[in-house]
Amino acid sequence: MEGMECAEAVAEPTGGWWLRVLTHGSRRWNTPVCGDRHDAVTWSFEPRPHAVGAAREISEALLHEWEMRYLCGDVAVVVSELVTNAVRHGAPLPLTRRGEGGIQLSLMRSGGEFICAVRDGGDRLPQPREVDLDLEGGRGLALVSAFAQEWGVIPTPPGGKFVWAQFV
């Protein structure tokens, strides 16, 4: 999705099973959805810089548990970038009755497909841009495009968004 315009990123994702899981806010599923078995887990973090390392560690541990170690490097880069963007540019989600809020990391798998999604409460959509080698930042979405098979944005009513990435 290199050079993808923001409108393309917000286009309807092609995922079937994982879109339903993501938008229904499930904790852990191990039941058939759309004919396939899958797992999904969600964590909440305070929107602070330490969330980046914690999200990366959780992702790596879960990939090991799910016997998808071959994705660890690529997923670590993408999760780091998505969580960093949520911390820097997003807004916290409101607290729920279970004490969850801030930003959320969802990790899902079905067969050999793996999805990571980061949710925050901000309405500002990611803006892919040309990488300027003289700037310290601005490479995050280019890295996501390079390491993920596909990525996009799902706005969530009444506010906020999921930024997701798919690995196969």
Domains and CATH numbers, the chain: 6-167 (3.30.565.10)
Average pLDDT over residues 10-24: 53
Please tell me whether residue 14 adopts helix, strand or coil conformation.
coil
Global pTM value: 0.77
pLDDT given at position 10: 41
pLDDT given at position 125: 83
Is residue 116's pLDDT more than 90?
A: yes
Compute the distance between CA of residue 163 and CA of residue 155 in angstroms, rounded to an integer.
9
Taking alpha carbons only, the member of 148, 153, 155 closest to residue 59 is: 148
Compute the distance between CA of residue 3 and CA of residue 123 in angstroms, rounded to an integer.
22
| pLDDT tens profile 50-95 | 999 999 999 999 999 999 999 999 999 999 999 999 999 888 887 6
Query: Mean pLDDT, the chain, as a whole number?
Result: 79
